[in-house]
Amino acid sequence: MEDIIKVSALGGLDENGRDCYVIEINNDIFVIDAGLALPDKTIPGVDYLLANAQYLISNKDRIRAYIMTHAHDENMGALKYFYDDAPAPIYCTRFTKHVIETQFNFNELRIPLDFEVVPPTSSQKIAGRNVHFFQTSHNAAYSFGVAIETSKGNIVFTSDFIVDYSVKTPAYIFDMKALSILSEKPTFLLMSESKGANYEGYCSPRHRVIPLIERYFKTNRRIFINCFWQNFFRISEIIDLCIENNKKIFFYNEFTRQIMKMLMDFNPTRIPSSIIVNKEDLLRVREQELVILMLGRGEEIYKELVNIADGTGEDKRVRLNHRDIFINAALPTPTLETIATRSIDYLYRTGADVVWIKKNQITAMHPRQDDLKFFLSVLKPRYYLPVRGNFINLMANAKLALSMGIGLNHTNVFILDNGMQLCFNELGRPSILPNNPAIMPTHPILVDGSGVSTNVAENIVNDRRQLSVDGVVVIAVTVSVEEKRIIAGPDCQMRGFVYVKEAEPLLKSIANIFVDEVTTALSVNNIDFENVKATAQERIRRFIKRENGREPMIIPIIVTK
């Protein structure tokens, strides 16, 4: 019997993050990754954007596996928010399992998880089907791609990877042999990431930070260096530099100590205990021997820079001065550039030498064109589906595949949007179904707070956006229903949309409009004050829009006695 296949994305297409891909083979669902994304400044008050799991929750009885390819938030960060509603075995490496559990502990979640720990290169039987994992080289330790066998050939998901022949640490090698073995069977569909598809050449060796900073480790000066906690490859490079240059390393705060303990437990990078400085020994180590490592998440890592610059950090003994070197190895994403720029200003005020690594100096560990060509030439897929990236990245990946001369053309290379389904019938013929939001909603789930999931309604986000741009007007009166008159007020307050010198005439006009509406309602025995407030709100909105072109949030309040 020939398999019927459907492939779709709940997130990750035409965006950066929220990766979640659904592969349906007959009646079985395999979920590859379950990620989150960080919001930009147009979504105030929101901490994370999650892949929408409603389709998975509605079909939870058909989910056979969650396959977490590696330990990055954009790939596995959303799992903690919906796993309890749609549980299934989680297939991942021992290292990724520990990172997921660490995140659950950070957020004080006690949801029981059903892990199936697998080696990064291995084969498993899932729902009676052969599934093969192959280790890839990425900045998350022990990352892997996955191949699912079907009657039509393998469905291969590359995950994040680069082609790097020089990696020596077992946690970051690319298992070429495993990929070669996969190539012996036909690849029906290849799903390959696209974030670096616009750039020529290979990613390696431009992903390495060592050539940019090793000269500073050869000096006799104290070094501060920060890094995102999930960039495990870069942390490994920093440790290597400390070992090679006989430096001692101090973990800046409790968060950094927790993460480094996790890394030492699973040994993706070698950290001799002899180079680690304990808290009580900090002042006993000579400054010229010391490296202070700071790890962090999202914008927190840049807020901590401000604290360390003004001496209000967790450890008051650690403060920057003119004898120090500060190396920023946490390259900000587009959503973090504003706060990162502000934090560097504080660092310069300390007098320390600041080394701010620029994006044009180092590349993220995502495949460039020659990396992608390597995968395509080895597997020679019958169909090709670019994933992971903005539309410009997906299109560049597709065009690259068309140029390869391996039988890929406009009939077997597809670019989808989230929620669209790429379907293959029994004969293997493809068709694309448009997104049906009623069946497979893909709009982001907005989370306010890092603990238990709290969905933030779209109207609340719109209110926050309006507040941040146009400000707010609050106007209140107290009325006596029995006497049918206003007995206190009006009190009108404005914030964030008009200069003080312009406020007085506006205040009087807004107050007059509100008083007129309330007085008129009382005179005709209308005590439906919700309707009165709505009418007054609309009149005030039109008046302000006419006067100065702004549309602040308007909050009318009527207190009854």
**Secondary structure (DSSP) of 392-443:** HHHHHHHHHHHTT-SS--TTTB----TT-EEEE-TT--EEEEPP-TTTS--S
Give the pLDDT confidence of 241-268 residue by residue, as tens digits.
999 999 999 998 888 888 888 887 766 5
Lowest mean pLDDT among 97-101, 292-296, 363-367, 493-497: 493-497
Find the radius of gyration of the CA atoms of the chain.
28
pLDDT surpasses 80 at 26: yes
Give the pLDDT confidence of 475-529 residue by residue, as tens digits.
898 988 888 888 888 888 877 655 545 567 777 888 888 888 888 888 877 777 8
Q: Provide the strand spans (E) within 409-539.
A: 421-424, 430-433, 445-447, 472-480, 485-495
List, in sequence order, the alpha helices (H) in 34-170: 54-58, 73-76, 79-82, 94-106
Q: Degrees (nearest 5) of the Cα angle 91, 94, 97?
A: 65
The domain locations on the chain are 5-202+364-447, 210-356, 471-560
* CATH class name, domain 5-202+364-447: alpha beta
Beta bridge partners of 155: 148, 189
Residues 175 and 367: beta-carbon distance below 8 Å: no
Cα–Cα separations (whole angstroms), residue 504 to 15, 211, 222, 493, 499: 46, 61, 56, 10, 10
Work out the average pLDDT over 147-162.
95
Q: What confidence category does residue 454 fall into, taking pLDDT thresholds of 50, 70 and 90?
A: very low
pLDDT computed for residue 343 by the predictor: 83
Q: Provide the strand spans (E) within 82-205.
A: 90-92, 115-117, 122-126, 129-135, 144-150, 153-157, 187-193
**Which DSSP string do the residues of 233-300 spell out, in sequence order?**
HHHHHHHHHHHHTT-EEEE-SHHHHHHHHHHHHH-SS---GGGEEPGGGGGGS-GGGEEEEEEE-TTH
Determine how many CB atoms are found less than 10 A away from the CB of residue 430.
Answer: 16
pLDDT surpasses 60 at 460: no
pLDDT computed for residue 449 by the predictor: 61
Work out the average pLDDT over 109-134.
91
Q: What are phi and psi of 267, to 5 degrees?
A: 50, 45
CATH topology of domain 210-356: Rossmann fold (3.40.50)
Task: Determine the CATH number of domain 471-560.
Answer: 3.10.20.580
Q: What confidence category does residue 146 fall into, taking pLDDT thresholds of 50, 70 and 90?
A: very high
**Which DSSP string do the residues of 170-187 spell out, in sequence order?**
GGG---HHHHHHHTTS-E
pLDDT computed for residue 452 by the predictor: 40
Give the pLDDT confidence of 169-214 residue by residue, as tens digits.
888 899 999 999 999 999 999 999 999 999 999 998 888 999 999 9
Q: What are phi and psi of 118, to 5 degrees?
A: -130, 150
What is the distance between the alpha carbons of residues 132 and 179, in angstroms, rounded to a whole number?
A: 10
pLDDT computed for residue 393 by the predictor: 94
Q: What is the mean pLDDT of the chain?
A: 86
pLDDT computed for residue 230 by the predictor: 87
pLDDT surpasses 50 at 414: yes
Work out the average pLDDT over 265-294.
82
Q: How long, in residues, is the chain?
A: 561
Work out the average pLDDT over 41-68.
85
Quote the percentage of the chain above a pLDDT of 70.
92
Work out the average pLDDT over 437-465.
64
Structure tokens at 501: 């010198």
Contact residues for 123 (Cβ-Cβ < 8 A; gap 6+): 130, 131, 132, 133
Nearest to 416 by CA among 65, 6, 50, 69: 6
Higher pLDDT, 105 or 300: 300
Cα–Cα separations (whole angstroms), residue 206 to 337, 357, 365: 21, 13, 9
